[in-house]
Structure 1
Amino acid sequence: MAKVSSFVFFDLETTGLPGLQTPKITEISLIACSKQHILDTKHGDLPRVLHKQTLCLNPRRMIHPKASETTGLYNDLLEHEHKFNSKTAQLIVLFLERLQSPTCLVAHNGNRFDFIILKKELEALDAKLPDDVYCVDSLPLFRHLAQVKKQSERAANENAKNKLADLELTALAAMEELQGSQSMLTQKQTQNEVTPQKNKLQINFKKALRSYLDVTPSQEPQSEEQSVPARPPRSKRQLFPDAEGTSSSTQSCRSQTFKQTDFKRFRLCDVYERSFGEPPKCSHYAESDVETLLKCAIADKEGFVAYAEDQCVKFNLFAGTF
């Protein structure tokens, strides 16, 4: 476990996907900020203090047409740019060294793509990042946070069920108490000719029970006693649902919702859309993707920081492969 002072969110655009050759970098973007600024930033905002570095590079290799279509980077656009050389590596190192250390690189699917490609580029130049630079993949991080959220929701549902069970026990006790009062009144009926009639007693009983539980009733016959408006209900769930009630449809909806959430995808755009209710405005431009990743991290900042500090590894010791 490492206590991180700065997080560096970064993304690569490349000549294509891994195949017979390792893809070459066409664009690299890094956006850094301190851990405290992440924790202090509101949902949907970006920290005011950011450090940015974005470089476009000539890959000296043909860019796959699909990659060009996705990123907007073509060989002719990059023809006069520098390749990834020792000065590029030095720029990245100097950028990281001026941050509050230790630092932690964050990339989405970094363990299987970004970290591998960056490290191969550095190794080819016999260069390396500072020893106090760590790295963490945000893909398993967001999966972990989603699982934690699901477990928390299940615990909340169980707690609600337990409260409902307590409510039903209280209702039964109230019913027994009122039924005992009804028996007592029945026994005294012969002695008192003004004893309330049975139907009126039932109406008063139901009113008292609903008032005690504050549960919205099902349809009841209208009467003068029921003309008084009731308080706004806290729950619309019936205490004793009918055999043909809505419990089965509710269960079906819950089952459907569970299936939908159980098969969530964790592409960066999907994570962003679940957090903000809309897709990112711009994708597959390195700097835009980095900002999207940063916003997703801030959306669950405490969980993000805790997981990153617990699971990060030193970048120079990272040994991932395609």
Structure 2
Amino acid sequence: MAQNVPVVGSENEIGSQISTFAVIDLETTNLPQYNQNRVSITEMCIYAFDSAILKDNPTESLELRDDVSPELCQEPPRPPRVLHKLNLLFQPSMAVNPVSEHITGLSNYLLERESKLNENAGQLVLRFIEHLPAPVCLIAHNGWHFDFPIIRKSFDKLNIQFPASLRCVDSLRAFMEIDDKRNEDLCMRKSTTSIVEPESKPSSSKEVDFEARNNKTPERPTLPRDEAIRKRKRLSDGCDDEDIIDLTLDSPVKRTPQKFRSRRQLFEGLKCATTKRIPPQGSYRLGNLFYKTFSRPAIDAHQAEADVQMLTQLVQHYGTDFLAFAEEQSIPFSEVIPLGGTIRNNK
């Protein structure tokens, strides 16, 4: 399988904003590299949602704090309320490899009554993408080296062109780069807090303020002015203190434009689409990453919709950092090299 190395030209505006994310997953008859780059799509699923839901992410803000127990971050995010879904199965144009049949549960027998991936099906996918608020960015796990080249080749055969504004990003590479940056941030914070102030000398018995120790009147805790105003307002609306505490914990941390720009700057100049990075063995497989993140096993892995659902939850979990990475490192889908194609010279 030819390595997909898109050419990044001057017209490729890396920092463009994304309106909609479309998480996509394919199941295929085989792995292309074991069949001379010949492959047929058997299943395609897409979940699409507004990119804005990745901002003000409470799960992300908890994860980045050192004083929060990891258990607080283990619940998978709820799916977005506004969620577009497309799930299609196709009769393949070749025999399903026995290994693929075992992994995906799809066989030629099961799919013999399904329609092929023809112009009608291709137009259905195109209209689905066009229905979404643009610019749209496709997300796939290992997408730059598997899903996107296969999609590009399949739709080129049908003479179907996606909108020029369509972009794509590889979640596998995104998660690795984000984890690296977060680990760097964590190390910097720990090194800063490790500078211990000189310990004060222990007080002698003569210096003990017995009057203070015996004072049984506890000091009344005071709230910051803004919190006090919110509390009074909630009490006047008939909510008790427990409701106020819940609202405080559940309310997302607001991200200012300056903070978001600073997160984007962390991923400037990486050129991830043109460089290949080998992940630690097994660590970033979708099911393994889902288990590591949420402490629960992947269910129905290698069924397209199940994989898309898991990937959507992981993208939500990575939150603002994923959006920052995607807006810096996504590439136009038109620059994806079709499966088996050659790298185009942009000069």
- 1:280 matched to 2:262? The reply is no
- 1:24 matched to 2:24? The reply is no
The number of aligned residues is 237
2:29 aligns to what?
A: 15
Contact 1:131 1:316 in 2 (8 A): yes
Contact 1:41 1:47 in 2 (8 A): no
2:12 aligns to what?
A: none
Give CA deviations for 1:165-190 in whole Å, capped at 9, x if unaligned: x1xx234xx37xx8xxxxxxxxxxxx
Q: 1 CA distance for matches of 2:116 and 2:107? A: 14
Counterpart of 2:146 (choices 109, 113, 122) is 113
Q: 2 CA distance for matches of 1:2 and 1:91? A: 27
3-state secondary structure, aligned to 1:101: coil
1:73 aligns to what?
A: 106
Contact 1:42 1:298 in 2 (8 A): no
Q: 2 CA distance for matches of 1:311 and 1:320? A: 19
Q: Cα distance, 1:23 vs. partner?
A: 1.5
2:287 aligns to what?
A: 269
Percent identity, aligned pairs only, is 31
Q: Cα distance, 1:40 vs. partner?
A: 6.1
The residue type equivalent to 1:17 in the other structure is L
Query: Larger Rg: 1 or 2?
Result: 1
- 1:125 matched to 2:158? The reply is yes
Q: Aligned Cα RMSD in Å?
A: 2.3
Larger RCO (alpha carbons 8 Å, 6+ apart): 2
Q: Cα distance, 1:320 vs. partner?
A: 6.3
Q: Cα distance, 1:148 vs. partner?
A: 1.3
2:126 aligns to what?
A: 93
Contact 1:16 1:64 in 2 (8 A): yes
2:63 aligns to what?
A: none
3-state secondary structure, aligned to 1:300: helix
Q: 2 CA distance for matches of 1:37 and 1:99? A: 15
3-state secondary structure, aligned to 2:108: coil
The residue type equivalent to 1:109 in the other structure is N
Q: Cα distance, 1:36 vs. partner?
A: 1.7
Q: 1 CA distance for matches of 2:157 and 2:123? A: 14
3-state secondary structure, aligned to 2:55: helix
Structure ranking higher in helix proportion: 1
3-state secondary structure, aligned to 2:18: coil
2:186 aligns to what?
A: 153
- 1:307 matched to 2:325? The reply is yes
Q: 2 CA distance for matches of 1:60 and 1:155? A: 54
- 1:140 matched to 2:173? The reply is yes
Structure 1 pair 287–42 and aligned structure 2 pair: CA distance change class (3 A): farther
Q: 2 CA distance for matches of 1:85 and 1:40? A: 41
Structure 1 pair 290–83 and aligned structure 2 pair: CA distance change class (3 A): same
Mapping 1:215-234, distance limit 5 Å? none
Q: 1 CA distance for matches of 2:140 and 2:281? A: 22
TM-score for the superposition, normalised by structure 1: 0.69
Structure 1 pair 98–152 and aligned structure 2 pair: CA distance change class (3 A): same
Mapping 1:112-261, distance limit 5 Å? 112-162=145-195, 164=196, 166=197, 169-171=198-200, 174=201, 204=205
Contact 2:56 2:320 in 1 (8 A): no
Q: Cα distance, 1:304 vs. partner?
A: 0.6
Q: Cα distance, 1:287 vs. partner?
A: 0.6
